[in-house]
A and B are shown apart, each in its own frame.
Chain A
Amino acid sequence: MDSEIKKAIIMEHYSNPHNREEIHDDNYIKVNSKSETCIDNLDIYLKMNGDVIEDLKFYGEACAISTSAASIMTELLKGKTITEANNIISNYDNMVLEKDYDKDCLGDALCYDEIYKQTNRINCALIPWRGIKKALDQYEEKK
């Protein structure tokens, strides 16, 4: 992906984030995701239908990377099964942490494929994804 295109995707999702909404509904699992080293602070709202992610929202104060990553993540994971979602999550993690990963399942999230070069941004890119992982784990535990 060309670096200008990456930037454009990030800025678009930062300026007009998708699925950014505070939810007050008990049908959603709410988890908070933040980092001890930076100031991003996001709530993730997950609504499941059996094995499928029916809806995914996020809300909070966060930087451009974290906000755009959350927006892209919600688009990518909505409608996916738990297995599919976990596969995408682990590939995303690997990409951000500079390990081997499968490009094909990551869609727009590929715009962070060089984020590892900015050490102070790696965490930002991971924060929303840590949140969804926690929410899915909570759902599985309750089942």
Chain B
Amino acid sequence: MNNNFPMLNTGYIYLDNGATTWKPEPVIKKINEYYNDFTANAHRGDYDISLRVDNEYEGARKIVADFINSDYKEVIFTSGTTDALNLVAEGYFRKHLQKDDEIIINYAEHASNVMPWFRLANDLGVKVKFAALNDSNALTLDSIKEVVSDKTKVISLAMITNVIGDLRDVKEIVKFAHERGIKVVVDGAQSVPHIKTDVKDLDCDFLAFSGHKMCGPTGIGVLYGKYELLEEMEPRNLGGGMNASFDSPEEIELKSIPTRFEAGTPNIEGAIGLGAAIKYLESIGMDNIQKHEVGLKKYLVDELSKIEHIKMYNKDTISGTVVFNVDGIFSQDVAIYLSKYKICVRAGNHCAKLLKNKLGTDNTVRVSIYIYNTKEDVDKLVSLLQDKNKILNEML
């Protein structure tokens, strides 16, 4: 699909894009530019390079906003999805939930969309309820309907999960939730990099995602929130850059939204790097990216289906993720075997530790595809998995 990823020259076949992604030249160039040509702090100086930092940093916010179809004031830079989900839980919901209120999640969620809610449950006496997954391990509105009650205040879910990779009908779920006054938090870590995201169309209340899973740098992410909800959200950090004045504990004035949520020197290289990454993805087109991934997944599934000793757990989901096991071989041994051929895949529970009872196994091998992966990558992977004896022989 494209060849401007310097990591492609290393000979690695990278199939762990659910964990993080490689960076294209325009992103690396942008970050270098900041360090080589205009290093200065943001929101500070009266000199030209600091003003340029402001323009680039706030420009990146605008790029993000356009990308997800929000207002730029509704885009808060965080350190990643985890940080963003914790900010929503702690900054907004800690204030708005009361004892016996209910939060709905499900067993396929990533740790970062489970643990912040568990903390609220422990601290506030709110209840975390689990919507069931269906026979294909996917989540549908029907299973949410089964657990919803008049105490439900929040539904928090990934748009695409990081193991099964099912694309949830968030729009339909939001509509159902809003009819009952329920807020919806969307974990977009595995969806925003891969499909077109429109927060106005989804009508979700909050959306969290990470830069590094979409060709951007590590350490940068985004929390989108509806403006009227952000007005009621508490900053987690207080300090420089987010206050307008502080004379005494009674006299504190915060800056406007979203700056008040970004205390301290921001991750400048991260934000502008993310801006460059989004521009890069847009130059390819999100529809093309999704088409490429789904097509390659289908090819991989078709090929792996021919191999008797391979069991797949998510053949039918529409995404770029395939999870499987080789019969009788521990997933980590398979991953280490493949690594000897410079193929990078992930083994384990993929931070979705609640999912194991559903799959009947704790651990799987996960292949997650992105824009730079090719049919040749898939062929190489499949050829290495053909012969079980070869795996057993070479995995040690």
Say yes or no: A7 contacts B332, CB within 8 Å: no
Q: Which residues of B contact A64 (CB under 8 A)?
A: 329-330, 333, 395-396
Say yes or no: A39 contacts B396, CB within 8 Å: no
Say yes or no: B336 contacts A39, CB within 8 Å: no
Interchain CA distance A11-B395 in the complex, whole Å: 10
Binary contact readout B35-63 vs A (1 if CB under 8 angstroms, 0 otherwise): 00000000000000000000000000000
Interchain CA distance A67-B333 in the complex, whole Å: 11
Asked if B363 is an interface residue, CB under 8 A from chain A, the answer is: yes
- Shortest beta-carbon distance, B240 to chain A, in Å? 34
How many residues of B are in contact with the other chain, CB < 8 A? 16
Whether A39 contacts B348 in the complex (CB less than 8 A), given A11-B396, A61-B362, A65-B396, comes out as yes
Say yes or no: B347 contacts A39, CB within 8 Å: yes
Which residues between 95 and 123 of chain A lie within 8 Å of chain B, taking CB atoms? 120-121
Query: How many interface residues does chain A have, given as a range?
Result: 10 to 19
Which residues between 178 and 234 of chain B lie within 8 Å of chain A, taking CB atoms? none
Whether A39 contacts B363 in the complex (CB less than 8 A), given A61-B330, A62-B330, comes out as yes
- Shortest beta-carbon distance, A112 to chain B, in Å? 10
Binary contact readout B324-338 vs A (1 if CB under 8 angstroms, 0 otherwise): 000001111100100
Of B332, B348, B392, B395, most buried by chain A (CB within 10 Å of CB) is B332
- Shortest beta-carbon distance, A72 to chain B, in Å? 14
Say yes or no: B348 contacts A7, CB within 8 Å: no
Q: Which residues of A contact B363 (CB under 8 A)?
A: 39, 61
Q: Which residues of B contact A61 (CB under 8 A)?
A: 330, 361-363
A-B complex: 5 closest residue pairs judged by Cβ atoms: A39-B348, A63-B332, A63-B330, A64-B333, A63-B333
Q: Give me 14 A-to-B residue pairs in the complex whose CB atoms sit less than 8 angstroms apart, sorted by A's number.
A: A38-B348, A39-B347, A39-B348, A39-B349, A39-B363, A61-B361, A61-B363, A62-B330, A63-B333, A64-B329, A64-B333, A64-B395, A65-B396, A67-B330
For the complex with contacts A39-B348, A63-B333, A120-B339, 5 further pairs of A-B residues with Cβ separation under 8 Å are A10-B396, A39-B331, A64-B395, A67-B330, A124-B332
